[in-house]
A and B are shown apart, each in its own frame.
Chain A
Amino acid sequence: MTSANLTPHAFKILENVVFLKKTSLFASMRTHDLRAIAAVAEELSFEPGEEIVHEGDVGDALYLIKEGRIRITKKVGDSESVDLAEIGTGECFGDMAVFDAELRSASAFAKERCVLLRIDGEDLIDVIVECPFIAIEFLKMFVKRLRNANGRIEKLSRTEKSPRKLRDRSPMWRRDDGKG
């Protein structure tokens, strides 16, 4: 049995595997499966203020921040835009756009010098076809997000219900309803 031979390219791929494993998106995936993703990932650098994705464009790739910070903004009028969020190392954007055909809902700008991993949607789909276990991991991740969203909705509906209950019990409200 001989040891695998590491070329500089292979070294880079493995370096990216380690990075992907640290991100919340891919943390639960097996490193061997991540190798297939890392192999199709492209490393990109952006200078401060440079636009990475543009709102309204076709979303075709998933981006992971390897270094630096990204500002996510959304247009509110013809010329104005508001900052929605700021994300940093290990976080990602554009993951949903890989699986549906919707347009980018916001723009992303480099806040400082950034290094990103770009995973092309089609490449990712190819990897998934070759290694369907990755799709299962994505499904798990989306289910987890759905559960969290359900939890938040339930929590919100509870906080909304409580004042209504109080309102229903209050004689003032009954009077307003014309029954008191």
Chain B
Amino acid sequence: MPFSRSHTLPLFFLLFGSFGSAILGDSTAEALLLARLGSKYVPGLFLINAAFLFLLSSMIMSVIDRWDRGNLFLAFIGTHTVVLLCIRLLINFDLPLLFLFLFSYAYVTKILIFLLFWTLTNDLIDSRRAGSDFPIIAAGGTLGAILFSFAIPNMLKFISAENLLFVWAGAMIVTGGIFVSLKLSFASAFKPVGDRYLQLSFRWKTLRDDLNLVRTDPLLRTMAIFYFLLFFIVLNQHYSFYDQLNAYFSGTEDQASQLAGFLGYFNGVSMFSTFLLQVSIAGIVIRKAGSTRSMFILPAAFCVVFSALLVMGIIADDLEPKAAAALLFWGVVIGVGTRIAFFDSFFSPNFQIFFSSLPQNVRGRGKLSIEGVVKPAAMITAGVWLFLVAPRIPFLMQISLLLFLSVIMVLQTRRLKQKYTASLAQYLRGFKSKNTQLIRAINVSSKETLFLDLVENVLKKEEPNVKAYVIDMLATMNSTESISILIDYIPRADSKTRATIISALSGIRHPQAKDVFLRFLDDSDKRVVANCIDALSRYRSQEVFEKVERFLKDENPRIRANAVAALWNSATSERKEELALVLRHMMDMGYPLYSASALYAMGQIRFPNLVEELGSYYADHPDWVGGDKTVWRQYVLALSSTGQRESVDVLLKISDVAGRKQRNQISTAIGLLMNRGVSTGYLISRLPGINYMQRGVLLKALHVRAFERGRDSLRVLQDIAGKEIRSIYSHWVAFDAVAREKPNPGLVLLQNSIMEECINESLRNLFYVASMLDGSGQIRRIVHRLFHTNERVRAQALEVLDNAGDFRTNRSIVKLLETSDPAIHTTDARTLYKMKPRNYLSVVNEYAHCPNTWVRECCSYAMSCHFTESGEVPHEQALPQAKVRFLPHVEGSEKQK
């Protein structure tokens, strides 16, 4: 983020001036119109407003992303001020049409000034900061509106309603001055991005492109529908307000000043309520519920207001006309006041966040399309409705319709939240090439003669890797032609290619294949022979057994082990005992290839009590299994071949001492076990009883799979999330305790190991759980973006986390990710879990028992460094474990010195 927090205050004052002057303008224009011409022209003016808004926005639409937004804003303010002064002069000529124009002009300029203001604000503030900064800035606007509103009745004591236009123009000049100071500091942020082509004239193509953008982008489309509904409701409600106002003040003396005074007080009170709402509840609600969830509040408020009006309308039928009119007047006035307060507190600041998540070149165009086209469309619809339909239907029916639309808005808000998250996730995922899939499709489906000729040619000429690829492709095709190519090619192929072809053919059932395998049992290359025996293990015939028997004493481990596998299935129990002895002997010979081959064969033949056999083998030879990658790989694969739950226990047990790569292989093996019948439900139920490293392995295997989202599974996952969150805070407290000590190499290493092996690993586990709790699959797509170097990308990833999946878990993750300051986390740990700050010796003592061997090693080193440097002997009470564990190493290191 190139900008500091210092822009929040200038933006606060800028909105103060902008909103204050807009309210002043609104009140002046409304009072003059209602006093001189009444409310009958209002629906028509809605249509004119819509047309104005459309034309002006269309012009702005073509320049906002291509022009310096700062200069645009200044040009707008200058022009606006001049126009206001001209209108004031023309009022002297008593032109009734001027008041109609002023009403529309006040409205359109208000919209444009806000549109430009929030666009500028989005240029300065990213979507994460928006959540905390926008409410402060919005409060500036509210404060301005309150002060200006309450000032109107007082100003009217000295000047006429018409002369408020001078005050309005003056306020605009001051606002321009505030913006100049902001522009001087952050000029570069307002510069256009990408296309610098200046296009001042209105172009249908631009409009079409931008509307197309709104139509095709799921988020913008949902926003557009939401916006349309919102303004249809708002305009209907506001028309009722004007209507009631005109009726209430008709026939009073100096109606313009009376109306302007009432509107001043009304705006002042409603804005003051807004302000109170913003400084008290709104901030807390937005912070606790999140920006997008807070969007539900305005539609909910509409539902309450219209339900109340409906009830009032029913009650009013039984009242006297005067009392009924007063009830409805105040009902409507309070309803509008409530809407204003909720609109400005929960809708205005939060709606901008949806835009700030879009790329800058889309953001401005999308915003202008919604403001300049969707909103005028809503206004036109509302205008036509108020002109043609509303007068012909009863008041209660109108309110019922508005209530119905409010309910739809609630549903639309839910959709908006989903689309926002999906849109962010898609953007963060980047673009994926479609070519790979296309190539795969061609490879598998193509059986053309020409293609086969080409492949055959490649098989003859290309290098081994290309040949291996082609062999695999031909075997996968499994047609008479493709298999014939392979079989015909074997005698001419080099030994490695022969082995590859035999291996590829072993996976398919082909009538000619068995003869080929038998024929090449006498091949000069041992790999070919081993692969032939492996392939023949799938055939149960006397001929095969006779031919394979002689290989039981072969020197080559693969041949010998594969021979056991080929003979196993049809052997008697006594014979099986003999064969098992061959494999056991191979495993104990002390040569990695013998052990690995025997393990492979055991996995292939479903060796009796294989899990127990492998478990005890590991217990007897842990270094042997873990130290050789060939043995390790076959060991893990053999365990995964069983399809038994018990294999999971062994795999998890060995994961404690496994390296990162080995842990990944264990996760893959657990995945294979799931393919072979171990249920995800069982694996999820294992999560609570294992340590965080084992959980990491299991979660890695689980999180990519679909699982039945039953209540029990979800509860276990939520509990695990809570457990991981708590342990991360506990690690932070430990980290902080070590960080507060005078640094020495041992403590530095311990600190690093706590961060890397405990905090980060638990966080990784937490991401897996969060991803499993998220049914939409969005979190899985963006996890890697949470640590992106670009702050805006990171902010967007956090937004996805904030809006998808399990709210409580994700909120905690966001909180954990927002800072890496151990002191802050320690304070949070104290608040949330009553964890106390710790002594670093107690930390070392605890981590000396960590399941992670590296952390334990770092603990030993830290203690060795500590006692070597200080010459202290650890106090038994302070560090009971240390005295026993660490003293010998201290002595060792001292001797070395």
Contact = CB atoms under 8 A, between A and B. Distances in A.
Given A21-B752, A32-B756, A131-B659, A4 B745 contact: no
B745 A1 contact: no
Interface stretch (B18-26, B166-174, B888-896): B888-896
Contacts of B858: 14, 31
Given A6-B892, A11-B861, A18-B748, A1 B854 contact: no
Given A31-B756, A131-B660, A5 B860 contact: yes
Nearest to A19: B745
B861 A14 contact: yes
Contact of B864 (A6, A31, A133): A6
B749 A14 contact: yes
A8 B756 contact: no
Nearest to B844: A3
Interface residues of A, number: 24
A66 interface: no
A79 interface: no
B495 interface: no
A31 B888 CA distance: 24
A132 interface: yes
B749 A32 contact: no
Contact of A8 (B752, B857, B893): B893
Interface of A: 1-8, 10-11, 14-15, 17-18, 21, 30-33, 35, 130-133
Interface in B738-767: 745, 748-749, 752-753, 756-757
B857 A6 contact: yes
Interface of B: 629, 659-661, 745, 748-749, 752-753, 756-757, 848-851, 853-854, 856-861, 864, 881, 885-886, 888-889, 892-893, 895-896
B896 A8 contact: yes
Contacts of B848: 3
A11 B856 contact: no
A6 B853 CA distance: 12
Contact of B757 (A8, A17, A18, A32): A32
Contacts of A15: 745
A88 B468 CA distance: 50
Nearest to A30: B756
A64 B851 CA distance: 33
Contacts of A8: 892-893, 895-896
A18 B857 CA distance: 13
Contacts of B854: 31-32, 35
A116 B353 CA distance: 54
Contacts of A11: 861, 864, 889, 892-893, 896
Contact of B857 (A14, A30, A130): A14
Contacts of B861: 6, 11, 14
A123 to B, nearest CB: 17
B856 A1 contact: yes
B860 A17 contact: no
Contacts of B892: 6-8, 11
A31 B889 contact: no
A4 B850 CA distance: 11
Nearest to B747: A18
A160 B856 CA distance: 56
Given A11-B893, A21-B752, A32-B854, 6 more contacts: A3-B886, A6-B893, A11-B861, A18-B745, A18-B748, A30-B756
Contact of A32 (B745, B753, B885): B753
Contacts of A30: 756-757
A133 B662 CA distance: 12
**Interface residues of B, dominant DSSP:** helix
A4 B859 CA distance: 9
B882 to A, nearest CB: 9
B9 to A, nearest CB: 33
A162 B361 CA distance: 28
A6 B749 contact: no
B877 to A, nearest CB: 19
Nearest to B849: A1
A130 B753 CA distance: 20
A130 B856 contact: no
Nearest to B756: A30
Contacts of B856: 1-4
Contacts of A18: 745, 748-749
B661 A131 contact: yes
Contacts of A33: 660
Contacts of B757: 30, 32
Contacts of A6: 857, 860-861, 864, 889, 892-893
Nearest to B892: A8
Contacts of B860: 3-6
A35 B752 CA distance: 12
A5 B745 contact: no
A15 B661 CA distance: 24
- Please indicate which of the listed interface residues A6, A17, A30, A133 has the most CB atoms of chain B within 10 Å of its own CB: A6
Contacts of A10: 857
Nearest to B893: A11
A32 B761 CA distance: 13
B738 to A, nearest CB: 14
Q: Which 8 A-B pairs have the closest CB atoms?
A: A4-B857, A18-B745, A8-B896, A6-B889, A3-B885, A14-B861, A32-B854, A31-B752
A128 to B, nearest CB: 11
A3 B848 CA distance: 6
Contacts of B859: 3-4
8 contacts: A1-B856, A3-B860, A4-B859, A5-B889, A10-B857, A18-B745, A18-B749, A30-B757
Nearest to A133: B660
B732 to A, nearest CB: 18
B793 to A, nearest CB: 16
Nearest to A129: B629
B358 to A, nearest CB: 26
B864 to A, nearest CB: 6
B119 to A, nearest CB: 29
Nearest to A15: B745
A5 to B, nearest CB: 7
Contacts of B661: 130-133
A7 B895 CA distance: 11
A136 B613 CA distance: 37
Contacts of A32: 660, 753, 756-757, 854
A82 B753 CA distance: 43
Contacts of B889: 5-6, 11
Contacts of A4: 853, 856-857, 859-860
A139 B756 CA distance: 20
A35 B856 CA distance: 14
Nearest to B629: A130
A28 to B, nearest CB: 11
Nearest to B660: A133
Contacts of B850: 1
Nearest to A35: B854
Contacts of A130: 629, 659, 661
A12 B232 CA distance: 75
B897 to A, nearest CB: 9
Contacts of A35: 854
Contacts of A14: 745, 749, 857-858, 861
A79 B888 CA distance: 57
B131 to A, nearest CB: 30
A33 B71 CA distance: 53
A123 B259 CA distance: 87
B27 to A, nearest CB: 53
Contacts of B885: 2-3
Nearest to A8: B896
A49 to B, nearest CB: 29
- Please indicate which of the listed interface residues A18, A31, A130, A131 has the most CB atoms of chain B within 10 Å of its own CB: A31
Nearest to B861: A14
Nearest to B897: A8
A131 B663 CA distance: 12
A32 B848 CA distance: 16
Contacts of A21: 748-749, 752
